[in-house]
Each structure stands twice: as C-alpha cells, then as structure tokens.
Structure 1
C-alpha cells in the first residue's frame, strides 16, 4: 500500500497509508519499550528504529496537512 501511495500520490491514499502505518507502528513501539531486551545496545537500536517507524507517518500526515493549507 505504501508503494502504491508513493507512486500515485493522491492525498486520500497518502493519508490512509500513513494512518494505517501509525496504527501498526505505535502499539509495536509501546510493546517493545515496555518489554525491554536484556542487551542494552540491542534495546537502544530497537527503540531507535521503532521511533523512526512512528515518526515517519506523523511527518507524512503533517506534510499533507501543510499542503492542504497552502492550497486554500
């Protein structure tokens, strides 16, 4: 879905993709933060990667919001 949204670039598809990604990523992030790994370097890497997974759809949604404001 994300690949199609990146190619087609329609606002509803981008919003749906970002929202779906966020619905998946946020609980995944919360689970891994609340169930830390025993190895600290691995936990730091895990949280960093999962943070990016949460931030990217938020950036996408913010970008769509800014684009909408400029058009009106």
Structure 2
C-alpha cells in the first residue's frame, strides 16, 4: 500500500490520527496531517483504508500496490 496526503485539502479533523497513529500525525500549529509512514505494514492497511474513507476533506489516498 502506498499512502499519500494532500495537505492543502486537510481540514485538521484528526480522524486519521485516531484511527492510525502509526501512520498519521498532525502539526501542532494548525492541525494539518503529517504522513509518518508512506508504505505502512500490512497489519495497518485496514486502519489506513478506514482513515481515508472517513476523512471529511478527502485528503488521504491509499493505493494498493500492484
């Protein structure tokens, strides 16, 4: 899995951090998403997919490796 984030779209809701704190964090000054792991371990894939699905701004993309 390859994860990308669009900081310009991020609204700082923080749902991604709650669902997958190993993969996402937030900047302290404005709450914008910080990607910690662009290629997370397989055990985190379900949480990353859920984080992408619930992101209110659609700022997270999780692409399955081909």
TM-based fold match above 0.5: no
Q: Which has the higher contact order (CA 8 A, sep 6+)?
A: 2
Larger radius of gyration: 1
Structure number having the greater strand percentage: 2
